[in-house]
Amino acid sequence: MNKTVMHELLEINRIESTFPLCSSENLADDHEQSVKVVGILGCGAIANIITNFAAEGKLGVDVNFFYDKDIERAENLASQVDGTVLLSIEDMLDKVDLVIEAASPQAVREVVPTIIGAGVDMIVMSVGALLDNELRERLDKLAKENNAKIYAPSGAIVGIDGIKAASIGKIQSASLVTRKPPRSLGISTDEEKILYEGKAGDAVLKFPMNINVAATLSLACGMEVDVKIIADPAVDRNMHEVHVIGEFGEFKTITENMPCATNPKTSTLAAYAAIRLLKSLNENLKIGT
Ligand SMILES: NC(=O)C1=CN([C@@H]2O[C@H](COP(=O)(O)OP(=O)(O)OC[C@H]3O[C@@H](n4cnc5c(N)ncnc54)[C@H](OP(=O)(O)O)[C@@H]3O)[C@@H](O)[C@H]2O)C=CC1
Ligand SMILES: O=C([O-])CC(=O)C(=O)O
């Protein structure tokens, strides 16, 4: 083997043995975990992937409590981990350290204030709801008053780390082009169709279950990004192109996402981002902005 390759392999091994990457084993038994028990609000595609990880013992926390307005969906997930279905979100709040919202923007408006008001941390997937300034400020105030944290994962998009760092300087422009198969956007067409062109704030109102990534980008850089949504019968993945120009320079990212098996609007990466964020909450070494 070539000496440089051998050296690089040894380096990788050395880093992995010091910090086992992305695994629950790095949560030592005597380590005080800040998050141990998790509840789920909304038992669809994202929750399904998270629960599968928990069932395989790969999450590093217990996912024990499930709530969905469709009780059968909650029962289905609970059965995978010997968990409990609750008939209201309030019943969960004295039992969990953190709730993962994977339901809808409406759930963020209706239920999240109760959860945060009870001092329970949250991972919010329906980030589009947080572009509503009044709601976001109310949740932020409630979180401060009740010592709770609200986390919005990077979700189905790549570039959130960079745009956060870039926003320390001036950003001149930030745009997102989302291209999905028509069925992911709930339409049928044989031709490429531009369904939306405008700012992120309107995009999340018009496509509440399809463009949360625009909200995450906007909140990460402190300005509404420009959004274009295209239904394209020639693609079979959910694709997001981000282009940012600022004082730091310029970056472009392209994400070609596998849609979730049970909900083609949603990409698998969104669930993986929530899982990774969940793991990071119990880690002492944090990587990325
Ligand atoms: N941040 C990101 O990058 C991404 C975010 N998302 C968002 O994450 C959320 C979850 O996505 P996904 O798992 O695919 O969604 P699904 O539609 O597959 O599952 C959501 C589940 O939550 C239920 N639900 C909706 N509103 C409520 C409520 N108020 N109370 C209780 N249950 C409720 C739904 O029931 P019913 O079907 O009857 O409404 C459904 O069972 C969505 O808002 C989605 O847009 C998705 C992809 C990427
Ligand atoms: O999962 C995706 O590719 C993006 C998505 O639906 C969203 O941001 O709501």
Q: Which ligand is nearest to the CA of 268?
A: 2
pLDDT, residue 2, reads 53
CB proximity list for 153: less than 8 A, separation 6 or greater:
123, 125, 216, 270, 273, 274, 276, 277
240 is catalytic: yes
Q: What is the pLDDT of residue 32?
A: 72
- Alpha-carbon span 142 to 150, nearest angstrom: 10
Residue 19 Cα to ligand 2 midpoint, Å, equals: 31
Tell whether ligand 1 has an atom less than 6 A from the beta carbon of residue 212.
yes
CB count, 10 Å around CB of 278?
23
The one-digit pLDDT tens for each residue of the chain (289 residues) are: 554 444 554 454 555 444 444 444 444 454 578 899 999 999 999 999 999 999 999 999 999 999 999 999 999 999 999 999 999 999 999 999 999 999 999 999 999 999 999 999 999 999 999 999 999 999 999 999 999 999 999 999 999 999 999 999 999 999 999 999 999 999 999 999 999 999 999 999 999 999 999 999 999 999 999 999 999 999 999 999 999 999 999 999 999 999 999 999 999 999 999 999 999 999 999 999 9
| Ligand 1 pocket residue status of 209, Cβ below 6 Å | yes
What domains lie within the chain, and their CATH numbers?
32-155+270-280 (3.40.50.720), 160-265 (3.30.360.10)
Nearest Cα residue to atom 24 of ligand 1: 103
Does the Cβ of 178 fall within 6 Å of ligand 2? no
**Residue to mutate, 40, 41, 43, 46, ligand 1, most ligand atoms under 8 Å from C-beta:** 46
Q: Is 156 annotated as a binding residue?
A: yes
How many residues are recorded in the chain? 289
211 CA from centroid of ligand 2 (Å): 5
Tokens of 105: 């923007």
Q: Which residue bears the tokens 């990880």? A: 53
| Nearest CA residue ID for atom 40, ligand 1 | 44
Q: How far is Cα of residue 162 from the mean position of the Cα atoms in its chain? A: 16
Collapse the DSSP code of 34 into the 3-class scheme (helix H, G, I; strand E, B; otherwise coil) and give the result.
coil
Distance 284 CA to ligand 2 centre (A): 30
Strand partners, 37: 62
Is residue 212 part of an annotated ligand binding site? yes
